[in-house]
């Protein structure tokens, strides 16, 4: 965890966020993340008590345990958040992704053949991820 507060914004600038970002980026190839983001969903954790958000934010309840947020003006993805947990911000909000590095790929076995980030450090399969996060089921919709 970097101690510095990082400042980010959406494409149009209407939504601004500040947060203490972790220094690691996680990419997810689950069905929810790939459909919502249009690609692998990359996220950086930030403790909820470090987060300040302003602007026209909309949220979508993407499962029984999580929401996804975007700018209502330009449509930029902002975050994914499991209920009561850390925010998971998209890296693109922050200059140089806040200095974070891609360190983990979740649902790695679900990646499309054409671009699976082969060679990335840690690869976690669907079964492994859902075993360690028993409340998660890919494709679970409200």
Phi, psi of 41 (to 5 degrees): -85, 115
Residue 42 binds Zn ion (CB under 5 A): no
Q: Which of 19, 25, 28, 69 binds Zn ion (CB under 5 A)?
A: 28
Residue 108 binds Zn ion (CB under 5 A): no
C-alpha span between 77 and 10 (Å, rounded): 8
The piece of 63-71, 81-89, 92-100, 113-121 that touches Zn ion (CB under 5 A) is 63-71
Q: How far is CA 15 from the centre of its chain?
A: 17
The CB-of-28 to Zn ion minimum distance in angstroms stands at 3
Residue 74 binds Zn ion (CB under 5 A): yes
> Where is 132: in which H helix or E strand?
helix 126-132
Closer to Zn ion by CB, 50 or 58: give it: 58
Beta-strand relationship, 16-19 and 6-9: antiparallel
Query: Helix H segments across 1-142?
Result: 31-37, 126-132
Closer to Zn ion by CB, 20 or 34: give it: 34
Residue 10 binds Zn ion (CB under 5 A): yes
**Under the rule (CB under 5 A), what is the footprint of Zn ion?**
10, 12, 14, 28, 30, 33, 71, 73-74
């Amino acid at each position: 965890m970097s101690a510095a507060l990082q400042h980010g914004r959406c494409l149009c600038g209407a939504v601004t966020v500040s947060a203490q970002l972790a220094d690691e980026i996680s990419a997810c190839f689950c069905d929810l993340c790939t459909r919502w983001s249009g690609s692998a969903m990359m996220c950086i954790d930030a403790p909820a008590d470090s987060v300040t958000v302003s602007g026209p934010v909309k949220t979508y309840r993407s499962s029984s345990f999580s929401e996804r947020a975007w700018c209502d003006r330009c449509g930029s993805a902002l975050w994914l958040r499991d209920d009561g947990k850390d925010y998971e911000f998209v890296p693109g909000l922050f200059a140089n992704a806040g200095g974070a590095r891609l360190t983990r790929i979740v649902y790695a076995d679900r990646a499309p053949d054409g671009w699976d980030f082969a060679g990335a450090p840690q690869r976690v399969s669907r079964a492994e991820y859902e075993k360690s996060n028993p409340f998660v089921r890919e494709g679970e919709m409200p």
